[in-house]
Chains A and B, each alone.
Chain A
Amino acid sequence: MIGAILTIFAGLLILGGSAFAAIAAFGILRLPDLYTRMHAASKAGSVGSGMALLALALVSDSSPEALRAIAAIAFFLLTAPLSAHLLAKAAYTVGYRMWPGSVLDEMPEMEATTRDAHTPASGHPALNAGDVTETKRD
């Protein structure tokens, strides 16, 4: 009886997880600029795979498999926000713009600080809106 309930719960979990992943993929295709796409991908993507791994942990017979799946969930929840934040900050610093329909940009101007990399100093979109092609390296 308890096994049947666990199986049904695991089925619901994988259904929800893959629905999350599909909606995230739809958002990644449909949303207008990088930052909104990142909002769709990093949140819903990690929740989707996390739910599928949780279902695997519920269904598996032996406890090492379940522990491995739970460790994968923990690891994934740890790394997904880090990589998303790093990518967003790098893209914003370098000067990828938000789309014109966005209403608020509270981020201050930042300078790219990669050591030994000749990054152009003025990376803010408000500063080099016209001269995108001016980025030159030597």
Chain B
Amino acid sequence: MTEFAKTFLDVCLTLSLVMLGIAFFLTTARIIIGPTLPDRVLGLDMLTSVAIGFIAVIGIDTGFTLYVDIAIALGLVGFLATVAFARFILARGKTADDDEKKDLRKIDGDPNETGDAAIAETGRHR
């Protein structure tokens, strides 16, 4: 029973490291493609939480639970960074770079969705 538990935990650790790596990759892709500043700030926030989960999984895997302290500090720093960025967004206002009309992506099978022209038209009427 104990042997089975150890093997099961090993398989779970490998699988979850793979999934957390995928999460890192996808979040980094969102940070790179943006397109607006709040999207990037949200991606950084998400990256912090994924990193905390990664630290916990590494702590189970290798026994280096010292990193849990670093995870707490990382959570604090990430929270403060997000708060500061939110204040900055509030103070900066919206700039011309944030043309988010281009990024309104098509969700498959959406009835309101007929192409870029329709999206631009809707955006103009709002």
Contacts and interface: CB of A to CB of B under 8 A. Distances in A.
* Chains A and B come from one and the same complex: yes
B84 to A, nearest CB: 10
A26 B22 CA distance: 9
The main secondary structure of chain B at its interface with chain A is helix
Contacts of B85: 87
A40 to B, nearest CB: 9
Most buried by B among A10, A69, A72, A130: A72
B56 A49 contact: yes
B15 A28 contact: no
Interface string A104-127: 000000001010010110010110
Contacts of B26: 22, 25-26, 28-29
Interface in A8-27: 8, 10-12, 14-15, 17-19, 21-22, 24-26
A34 B29 CA distance: 15
Contacts of A32: 104-105, 107
Contacts of B112: 100-101
A46 B79 CA distance: 12
Contact of B71 (A1, A53, A130): A53
Contacts of B65: 56, 60, 65, 68-69
Contacts of B90: 90, 93-94, 112, 114, 117, 119
B22 to A, nearest CB: 5
Interface of B: 1-2, 4-6, 8-9, 11-13, 15-17, 19-20, 22-27, 29-30, 36, 38-39, 41-43, 45-46, 49-50, 52-54, 56-57, 59-60, 65, 68-69, 71-72, 75-76, 78-79, 82-83, 85-87, 89-96, 98-100, 104-105, 107, 110, 112-113, 119, 122-126
12 contacts: A8-B8, A18-B17, A21-B19, A38-B42, A46-B49, A56-B56, A79-B79, A90-B86, A100-B119, A100-B123, A117-B91, A129-B124
7 closest A-B pairs (Cβ-Cβ)? A11-B12, A18-B16, A117-B91, A49-B53, A52-B56, A100-B122, A25-B23
